[in-house]
Amino acid sequence: MDGVGGRRFVRGVNGGQLPERRSWVEQIMGLPVSVLARGDRAWSAPAEAVVQEVFAELVEVDRVFSPYKTDSAVTRLVRGELAWSEVDPVVREVATRCDRARELTGGLFDAIPPGGGWDPLGLVKGWGVELASQRLSGVADLDWCLNAGGDVVVLCPSGRPFTVGIQDPRDPGRVVATVARTGGAVATSGTAARGAHLYDPRTGDPVLTGWLSVSVSGPSLETADVLATAAFVAGDAWPVVLSAVPGYEGLGILADGTLRASPGWNADGSEGSR
């Protein structure tokens, strides 16, 4: 391993040098999905193969669960073309997970929209990305960071953390805080990417809040993503939502740029906020 100008390299074929990091990006589920590998085997054939498996699995998740695809299981269920007894078991599993998420959040998260039907997208993204990320551990001695539109899963067998940036919801090109993680996940819910698209399942009304985003870190991306959504819906009470689930911490950003962190936000090695 050689270092030049602060960058690390590994020896390639015929003595050539390859950077220690390698990244891949695909557009899946309507958002950019990137994978970053770090380590001596970042440019190996097994690394390439496992990343393609991750992308293929996420394409399949989108095929089955997207409410925007006319032939997805979700769309056909809502149209009445499929009965629950006819769907693939994985669809029933996700429905069960959505029910658990509703119970976990006291109704702040719900896959049943105000107008009826079924839309599990708020859970499927985190669940699907976390499920796909498990394939990455099949290539030993590599650190991985999987980022799906700002929701991040990290696996660092080296013990060397990745630093995850928290985007400024008022300026997508600016990072307002960072958290360093060697494992687990970070998820964010808010208005930056899709505008005011969330509603309160308890009332059916749009969410009106002074918070622009809430980011949640913890062991599971599925849970962090659900909690981020529920916390954003809860408004000023978002820290109470997180305090009910051990192992998860949050950072909220107000419309004026003020940051508010839960007590343990920096406990996992974060570099803090600024």
Task: Please state, for a pLDDT cut of 70, what percent of the chain lies above it.
Answer: 88
Between 8 and 94, where is the model more confident? 94
The whole-number pLDDT of residue 18 equals 65
> How do beta strands 7-11 and 17-19 pair?
antiparallel
pLDDT class of 2 with cuts at 50, 70, 90: very low
Distance CA 212, CA 232 (A): 8
Task: Please state, for a pLDDT cut of 90, what percent of the chain lies above it.
Answer: 79
Distance CA 150, CA 165 (A): 9
pTM: 0.89
pLDDT digits (tens, 9 = 90+) for 222-263: 999 999 999 999 999 999 999 999 999 999 999 999 999 998
The whole-number pLDDT of residue 268 equals 46
pLDDT digits (tens, 9 = 90+) for 141-176: 999 999 999 999 999 999 999 999 999 999 988 999
Between 89 and 197, where is the model more confident? 89
Distance CA 191, CA 77 (A): 29
What is the total residue count of the chain?
274
The whole-number pLDDT of residue 193 equals 55
pLDDT digits (tens, 9 = 90+) for 48-62: 999 999 999 999 999
Residue 253 has a CB neighbour count (10 Å cut-off) of 25
Structural domains of the chain in order of their starting residue, each with its CATH number: 12-267 (3.10.520.10)
pLDDT digits (tens, 9 = 90+) for 74-132: 999 999 999 999 999 999 999 999 999 999 999 999 999 988 899 999 999 999 999 99
| pLDDT, averaged across the chain | 89
